C-alpha cells in the first residue's frame, strides 16, 4: 500500500485544511503559486514523498525562510 493518499483526499481535504490555516495563500495568488511550485518541485525531486499536511507545512516554512532572505537582502546596510 502506498503512503501517498488518494488524489481526492489531497485536493479535497489536505489542501483546503492547510489553506484555511494559512489564509495568506488565498489572499495572495503569487504566494499560492510559489507554494504550489515548491510542492511540485519537492514531488519531482523526492518521488516517494507523502502528499500530506507535513509536506505543505515544510514547504510553507521554506517559503517563509526564503522570503526572510529576500527581505534581508533589500534592507539598506547599517
Per-residue pLDDT of the chain (78 residues; tens, 9 = 90+): 445 557 789 999 999 999 999 999 999 999 999 999 999 999 999 988 888 999 999 999 999 999 999 999 998 876
In this prediction, residue 13 carries a pLDDT of: 95
> In the chain, where does DSSP find H-type helix?
7-9, 15-21, 24-27, 29-45, 53-74
SS3 of residue 28 by DSSP: coil
Global pTM? Answer: 0.82
In this prediction, residue 3 carries a pLDDT of: 53
Amino acid at each position: 500500500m502506498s503512503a501517498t493518499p488518494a488524489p481526492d483526499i489531497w485536493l479535497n481535504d489536505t489542501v483546503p485544511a492547510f489553506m484555511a490555516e494559512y489564509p495568506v495563500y488565498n489572499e495572495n495568488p503569487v504566494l499560492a503559486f510559489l507554494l504550489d511550485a515548491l510542492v511540485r518541485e519537492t514531488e519531482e525531486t523526492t518521488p516517494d514523498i507523502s502528499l500530506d499536511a507535513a509536506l505543505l507545512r515544510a514547504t510553507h516554512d521554506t517559503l517563509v525562510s526564503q522570503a526572510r532572505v529576500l527581505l534581508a537582502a533589500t534592507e539598506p546596510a547599517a
